[in-house]
Structures are given as structure tokens and as C-alpha cells.
């Protein structure tokens, strides 16, 4: 079994999630390759060393470029701020390394396309971190939709809403950087990915984006906010199904509302990320007086749940979804298909930009998959 030595860039929230995901994936799955965290980089030597001790990684550095230059590193794992993804990924690709990058792939579709084309030309394996679609309950929903259990699909609604920016005193951060920032890029990208995962390509959309809190505290004084705090997009899928996707990081009281609702002639589905081990199913065929949504609880019969627990209802967590994502990346390194490679990341970035463009133009824009491809 081949070893792949991984260099992790970034040790914040997602960096820690990746570390836990690698550890869990190695034990929950019979992966065809070994992924070993060999080095970690952060903005300073002190921060990197603290992460090295906490995570149990061999080496630490305050210079991410040293991971690129290290011939012993096979995979670069990027969890740094969004605006840095392109530079880091292109450097890694240029050095012939495989790349695992958190979403969004890049601040712009143009940069995401450059990264995608460079990776494909170099023949390296890529992965973008959209771990919500790895949830067994989303896979079940897609199976039920595709299998006709809901009948003809009539409508779709999806959202990703949290409240970590609801406080006006929350400081300006890299998420407010006009280069790739905003609620639609940060959260709506997940909602758009889920929409296409479940119902196929989005053909056109009309977006509306708004800034609710127009300045944030920052070193040196208040700083203007130029990105959206909340956004929505009316959708038209290639199948003709109408839909709606919303994104907000000022949704007071919501902590992980990655939700969707699908309605069909035979039934409906509802899911919320705050109860990620449950899928609500309504069957229109139930007898009168017996109709209503019923709960399908995640269990071993919903792959790959059984890799984590043999008992139903005991629940998977956010970090387990990352482990499932990493297992898919390992399969791709062994020659299998990329579960969510750079080309799919490019597709989502194009959709995010389409929402912004449509909002500015106040009209519908075409988003049918072109050279960037669509969700599988």
C-alpha cells in the first residue's frame, strides 16, 4: 500500500477538521492508500509549532512554500483563507503534487478555471471540500428522487443559514474580503452544491444579494463591508423544475441550517443540517388521516454509516462527513474517479458568481454547464 505524505496549510477551524478527518478515515475505511500528515504550515512558526504539538504532526513551519518545495510531500492540503487558495494550489500543481483544497476553490471563476486546467494538464488528483454532500442522508435523498419515489419533481428549496456574523460587533475578517468573500460564497456554495447533487444542473438563475451590516470593527477603526450578508437565487434546473436557494450568515438563532425541501407528485423530502442524521419523508399515497412527514433515521443500511457504527440512530457528526470525503479522495489517488474535484469546484464558483452578476444586473442569467461541467 502506497504512502502519501500530506502537508497541511492552515490550522484553524477547517484545519482541525481535516486532521480529525484523516485520523478517522484511516480507521473507519479500508482505504487503498495511506494518507499520513507529515507537516503543517501556518502564518507564524509559533502557530505552526503549537498546531504540530496539538495535532501530533511530525514537522511545523511558518512558510507554506517549504511544503511545496519538499520532495517528500505528496499532497498539499489547503485550509487557508479563500484568497490564498489559487496561489497555493498552482504552486503545488507546478511541483507535481496532488491538491486537497477547502471550498470555495478560488475567489473567482477565472482563477478556479486556471487551477482546474493546470491540475488536469499536470495529471494530479484534486479534491474540493464540500463534505455535506458526503452525508448518507443526502445520498439517500438523491436515490429516492432518482428512483421516482417522489414522483415528478415539482419544486426545490434549499438554504444554508448560520448566525456567526449576526452581531454587528463581530470583526471584519477574511470572509469579508471582496476577493471571494460573502455569505453566498461562504455558505451558499454549499446550498448550490447540494441543489445540483440532488436535482442535476441548474440552467439559469436570478439572484438578489444584500449587505445588512455595512461596517465592521477592524484594527485602525471601522472597515466598510462590501460583500453580501444574505443572498438568494431563484433557480430553473435543466429538468424544468423551479427552485430557490438562500444563504445568510446573519440568520439569528441558526447554527447549521443546511436545509432542503423537495416536493413531488408522490411525496416530499425535508432535511436540516441541525439534525443531520434524519431525513423527513412524506408519502402522498398514505391513507387519509394517516398523512404526514415521517422520520428516516440514519443507520447501517445507509452507506457508509456502518463504517462508523453498527447500530442505527447513534448518529454521525460533522467530522465524520469529512472522513467520508477523505476516503473518497484516497480512492481517487488509487486511480478511481474524483468525488468532487477541481472541475466541480469550478462549477460551484461559476454559480456563486452568477448570483452576484444577476443581482447587479437585476435579471436572469444562464448557468447551464459548459466547459466546467456539473455535479455527477
State how far the Cα of 117 lies from the Cα of 128, in Å rounded to an integer: 15
State how far the Cα of 153 lies from the Cα of 175, in Å rounded to an integer: 35
Torsion of CA 291, 292, 298, 304, to 10 degrees: 70
Could you give the 3-state DSSP secondary structure of residue 106? Answer: coil
Confidence at residue 333, expressed as pLDDT on a 0 to 100 scale:
98
Per DSSP, the chain holds a count of helices (H) and strands (E) of: 10, 17
**In Å, how far are 17, 276, 324 from 258, measured between CA atoms?**
18, 9, 18
Could you give the 3-state DSSP secondary structure of residue 229? Answer: coil
Q: Three cell numbers at 61?
A: 513551519
**In Å, how far are 26, 36, 135 from 2, measured between CA atoms?**
13, 11, 27
DSSP characters over 10-51 = --SHHHHHHHHHHHHHHHHS--SSEEEEEEEE-SSHHHHHHH
Confidence at residue 124, expressed as pLDDT on a 0 to 100 scale:
98
> What is the third-level CATH fold of 3-131?
Rossmann fold (3.40.50)
Confidence at residue 370, expressed as pLDDT on a 0 to 100 scale:
63
State how far the Cα of 10 lies from the Cα of 77, in Å rounded to an integer: 9
Pick among 3.40.1160.10, 3.30.420.40, 3.30.360.10, 3.40.190.10: CATH of 133-317+339-366: 3.30.360.10
Instruction: Give burial (CB, 10 Å; 0-12/13-18/19+) of 365.
Output: middle
State how far the Cα of 78 lies from the Cα of 173, in Å rounded to an integer: 18
Confidence at residue 372, expressed as pLDDT on a 0 to 100 scale:
57
Which residue has 444563504 as its cell numbers?
247
What burial letters (b/e) apply to 10-44, b meaning 16+ CB within 10 Å?
bbeebbbbbbbbbbbbbebbebebebebbbbbbee
Dump pLDDT digits (tens) for 49-62.
999 999 999 999 99
Confidence at residue 1, expressed as pLDDT on a 0 to 100 scale:
86
Handedness of CA 372, 100, 106, 228 (dihedral sign): positive
Q: Three cell numbers at 306?
A: 456502518
Q: Check: CB of residue 245 under 8 Å from CB of residue 159.
A: yes
| Full pLDDT tens readout for the chain, 376 residues | 899 999 999 999 999 999 999 999 999 999 999 999 999 999 999 999 999 999 999 999 999 999 999 999 999 999 998 889 999 999 999 999 999 999 999 989 999 999 999 999 999 999 999 999 999 999 999 999 999 999 999 999 999 999 999 999 999 998 999 888 899 999 999 999 999 999 999 999 999 999 999 999 999 999 999 999 999 999 999 999 999 999 999 999 999 999 999 999 999 999 999 999 999 999 999 999 999 999 999 999 999 999 999 999 999 999 999 999 999 999 999 999 999 999 999 999 999 999 999 999 999 999 978 655 554 4
Q: Check: CB of residue 64 under 8 Å from CB of residue 41.
A: yes
Confidence at residue 376, expressed as pLDDT on a 0 to 100 scale:
46
Q: Three cell numbers at 149?
A: 419515489
* CB proximity list for 315: less than 8 A, separation 6 or greater: 277, 298, 309
State how far the Cα of 139 lies from the Cα of 127, in Å rounded to an integer: 19
Confidence at residue 369, expressed as pLDDT on a 0 to 100 scale:
80
* CB proximity list for 301: less than 8 A, separation 6 or greater: 312
Domain locations in the chain as residue ranges: 3-131, 133-317+339-366
Amino acid at each position: 500500500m502506497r504512502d502519501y505524505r500530506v502537508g497541511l496549510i492552515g490550522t484553524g477551524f477547517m484545519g482541525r477538521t481535516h486532521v480529525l478527518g484523516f485520523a478517522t478515515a484511516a480507521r473507519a475505511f479500508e482505504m487503498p492508500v495511506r494518507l499520513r500528515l507529515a507537516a503543517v504550515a501556518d502564518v507564524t512558526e509559533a502557530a505552526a509549532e503549537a498546531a504540530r504539538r496539538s495535532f501530533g504532526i511530525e514537522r511545523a513551519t511558518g512558510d507554506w512554500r517549504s511544503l511545496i518545495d519538499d520532495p517528500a510531500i505528496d499532497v498539499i492540503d489547503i485550509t487557508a483563507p479563500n484568497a490564498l487558495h489559487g496561489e497555493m494550489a498552482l504552486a503545488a500543481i507546478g511541483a507535481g503534487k496532488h491538491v486537497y483544497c477547502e471550498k470555495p476553490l478560488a475567489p473567482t471563476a477565472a482563477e478556479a478555471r486556471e487551477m482546474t486546467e493546470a491540475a488536469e494538464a499536470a495529471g494530479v488528483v484534486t479534491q474540493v471540500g464540500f463534505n455535506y454532500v458526503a452525508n448518507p442522508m443526502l445520498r439517500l435523498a438523491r436515490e429516492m428522487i432518482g428512483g421516482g419515489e417522489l414522483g415528478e419533481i415539482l419544486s426545490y428549496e434549499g438554504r444554508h443559514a448560520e448566525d456567526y456574523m449576526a452581531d454587528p460587533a463581530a470583526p471584519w475578517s477574511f470572509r469579508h474580503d471582496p476577493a471571494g468573500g460573502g455569505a453566498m460564497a461562504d455558505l451558499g456554495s454549499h446550498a448550490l452544491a447540494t441543489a445540483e447533487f440532488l436535482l442535476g444542473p441548474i440552467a439559469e438563475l436570478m439572484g438578489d444579494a444584500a449587505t445588512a451590516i455595512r461596517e465592521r470593527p477592524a484594527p485602525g477603526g471601522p472597515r466598510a463591508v462590501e460583500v453580501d450578508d444574505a443572498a438568494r437565487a431563484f433557480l430553473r434546473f435543466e429538468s424544468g423544475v423551479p427552485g430557490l436557494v438562500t444563504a445568510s450568515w446573519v440568520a439569528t438563532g441558526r447554527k447549521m441550517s443546511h436545509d432542503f425541501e423537495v416536493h413531488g407528485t408522490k411525496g416530499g423530502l425535508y432535511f436540516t443540517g441541525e439534525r443531520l442524521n434524519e431525513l423527513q419523508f412524506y408519502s402522498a399515497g398514505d391513507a387519509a388521516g394517516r398523512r404526514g412527514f415521517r422520520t428516516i433515521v440514519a443507520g447501517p443500511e445507509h452507506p457508509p454509516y456502518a463504517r462508523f457504527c453498527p447500530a442505527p440512530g447513534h448518529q454521525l457528526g460533522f467530522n465524520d462527513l469529512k472522513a467520508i470525503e477523505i476516503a473518497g479522495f484516497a480512492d481517487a489517488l488509487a486511480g478511481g474517479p474524483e468525488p468532487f474535484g477541481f472541475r466541480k469546484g469550478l462549477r460551484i464558483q461559476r454559480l456563486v458568481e452568477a448570483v452576484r452578476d444577476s443581482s447587479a444586473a437585476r435579471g436572469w442569467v444562464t448557468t447551464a454547464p459548459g466547459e466546467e461541467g456539473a455535479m455527477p
